[in-house]
Amino acid sequence: MPDDVTGAGTLVEAPARPGVAVRLVELRRSFGPVVALDGLSLEIVPGELVALLGPSGCGKTTALRALAGLQELDSGQVFVDGRDITRVSAHRRGMGMVFQAYSLFPNMTARENVAYGLRLRRVPAAQRRKRAGELLDLVGLASHAGHYPDQLSGGQQQRVALARALAIQPKVLLLDEPLSALDAKVRAQLRDEIRAVQREVGTTTLFVTHDQEEALAMADRVGVMSAGRLQQIASPVELYERPRTAFVAEFVGLTNRLAGTAGGGSVQLLGARVPLLPGSVESGPVTVLVRPESLLVTPAEPDAAERAAGRVLAATFLGALCRVRVRLDDGTVLLAQVSSVDVTQLAPGTPVRVGVRPAPVLAIAGSA
């Protein structure tokens, strides 16, 4: 059944075909002196959408291309559905791929593009046409079937590319920053659409991005990469609230670095005791990574005497929320998040007290 596209009938209405598991084991790849993959291992469960997140050049694309068979590896193994496909060439892997660059075939219409993979599989013309139509419908472009790529907008082209990738009922769907060439609004919309489509078809999906918001919004689990390795892979909530390394804490979301004293599973910080996350340095003077929303900023009042004192430097209005920059009396500058209702009392120059919520934090070695 896995390779049988012809018999599958309507992918759109049929119950989600269960996805397959993917396992990357110790992938290594260097380009001259540059180590793009440094022993990357990753497991994706069937039907899951995993986002690979990381700074530019950390090896995300290389990892994705290795899974697609478009990138040769120095060592390591790739398993899909339990089968070792490390030596299988790209055109026999049955992966659906959407590229960062526009990749529709300019000499074919949207429908022909979507149907191309089916044509390669010798699906009869009538059936090809029907399925291409269904998939274009799925991505909301049924009315553009006869258009050539240069008659489509960037967002439309990427939708057609998604339909084209899905048309072959891929074992795994691979998306390499498919939204990065689009403007913010189309991006957010298409992001949700891709997620909805992925849920509907149930294909195991690997999504590469350097946009943390995108990763957190779309993925079941997010893998944070740095220098060719996976730092942590976890659900968006866990990644955000329980980062395992300083890199993850600082790459995902905004973070303050504060000095504290650790001991007995907690840390003394801004006049409060806060529990420590696993992986923290457990004793002595430490640097604590604290999210802006974990900080409490209130106008200076006598009853808040045990908190650290400081002055507001600036406040940024973001809609429902505001970011307030505060300089503590010891010189540390902090970024805190407060609700817009409270910000009226926090004009620049206002003396304030800063406290911290008792959410677990990560403590690392060294002084802030």
Partner 1 sequence: MRARAAIRWSILVVVGIYLLLPILAMVEFSTRGAGSSRTLAAWRAIGTDADLVSAITVSVELALLTVAGTLLLLVPTMTWVQLRVPRMRRLVEFICLLPLTIPAIVIVVGIAPIYAWVNYLLGDSPLTLTFVYIVLVLPYAYRAIAAGLSGVDIVTLAEAARSLGASWRQVLLRIVIPNIRGGIISAAVISVALVLGEFTIASLLNFNTLQVVINLLGKRDAAVSVAVSVAALVFAFLLLLVLAQVAPRRRGAGMAEVEDA
Ligand X SMILES: Nc1ncnc2c1ncn2[C@@H]1O[C@H](COP(=O)(O)OP(=O)(O)OP(=O)(O)O)[C@@H](O)[C@H]1O
Residues near partner 1, by CB under 8 A: 68-70, 90-97, 99, 101-107, 116-117, 120-121, 148, 150, 161, 164-165, 168, 174
What's the CA gap between 55 and 228, in Å, rounded? 11
212 part of the interface to Mg ion, by CB under 5 A? no
* 204 interface partner picked from partner 1, Mg ion, ligand X, none, CB below 5 to 8 A per type: none
* 119 or 130: CB nearest partner 1: 119
* 42 or 324: CB nearest ligand X: 42
* 90 interface partner picked from partner 1, Mg ion, ligand X, none, CB below 5 to 8 A per type: partner 1
Q: Is 198 within 8 Å of 178 (Cβ atoms)? A: no
Q: Which residues bind ligand X (CB under 6 A)?
A: 31, 34, 36, 54, 56-62, 210
* 31 or 367: CB nearest ligand X: 31
* 68 interface partner picked from ligand X, partner 1, Mg ion, none, CB below 5 to 8 A per type: partner 1
Question: To the nearest whole angstrom, how small is the minimum distance from the Cβ of residue 100 to Mg ion?
Answer: 7
* 87 or 91: CB nearest partner 1: 91
Question: To the nearest whole angstrom, how small is the minimum distance from the Cβ of residue 114 to partner 1?
Answer: 10
Question: To the nearest whole angstrom, how small is the minimum distance from the Cβ of residue 171 to ligand X?
Answer: 22
* 116 interface partner picked from partner 1, ligand X, Mg ion, none, CB below 5 to 8 A per type: partner 1
Question: To the nearest whole angstrom, how small is the minimum distance from the Cβ of residue 174 to partner 1?
Answer: 8
Question: To the nearest whole angstrom, how small is the minimum distance from the Cβ of residue 101 to Mg ion?
Answer: 11
Question: Positive or negative CA dihedral for 131, 46, 233, 85?
Answer: negative
* 58 interface partner picked from partner 1, Mg ion, ligand X, none, CB below 5 to 8 A per type: ligand X
* 61 or 157: CB nearest Mg ion: 61
Q: Is 290 within 8 Å of 302 (Cβ atoms)? A: no
Output the 3-class SS for the chain: CCCCCCCCCCCCCCCCCCCCCEEEEEEEEEECCEEEEEEEEEEECCCCEEEEECCCCCCHHHHHHHHHCCCCCCEEEEEECCEECCCCCHHHCCEEEECCCCCCCCCCCHHHHHHHHHHHCCCCHHHHHHHHHHHHHHCCCHHHCCCCHHHCCHHHHHHHHHHHHHHCCCCEEEEECCCCCCCHHHHHHHHHHHHHHHHHHCCEEEEEECCHHHHHHHCCEEEEEECCEEEEEECHHHHHHCCCCHHHHHHCCCCEEEEEEEECCEEEECCEEEEECCCCCCCEEEEEEECHHHEEEEECCHHHCCCEEEEEEEEEECCCEEEEEEEECCCCEEEEEEEHHHHCCCCCCCEEEEEECCCCEEEEECCC
Edge-to-edge strand list for the sheet holding 256-263? 272-275, 266-269, 256-263, 284-290, 362-365
* 63 or 262: CB nearest Mg ion: 63
* 94 interface partner picked from partner 1, Mg ion, ligand X, none, CB below 5 to 8 A per type: partner 1
* 93 or 353: CB nearest partner 1: 93
* 65 or 187: CB nearest partner 1: 65
* 59 interface partner picked from Mg ion, partner 1, ligand X, none, CB below 5 to 8 A per type: ligand X
What's the CA gap between 10 and 137, in Å, rounded? 12
List, in order, residues 6 or more apart from 122 with CB less than 8 Å away: none
Question: To the nearest whole angstrom, how small is the minimum distance from the Cβ of residue 168 to partner 1?
Answer: 6
Question: To the nearest whole angstrom, how small is the minimum distance from the Cβ of residue 322 to ligand X?
Answer: 31
Question: To the nearest whole angstrom, how small is the minimum distance from the Cβ of residue 84 to partner 1?
Answer: 19
Taking CB under 5 A as the rule, which mask of x and - marks residues 41-80 in contact with Mg ion?
Answer: --------------------x-------------------
209 part of the interface to Mg ion, by CB under 5 A? no
Footprint of Mg ion (CB under 5 A): 61
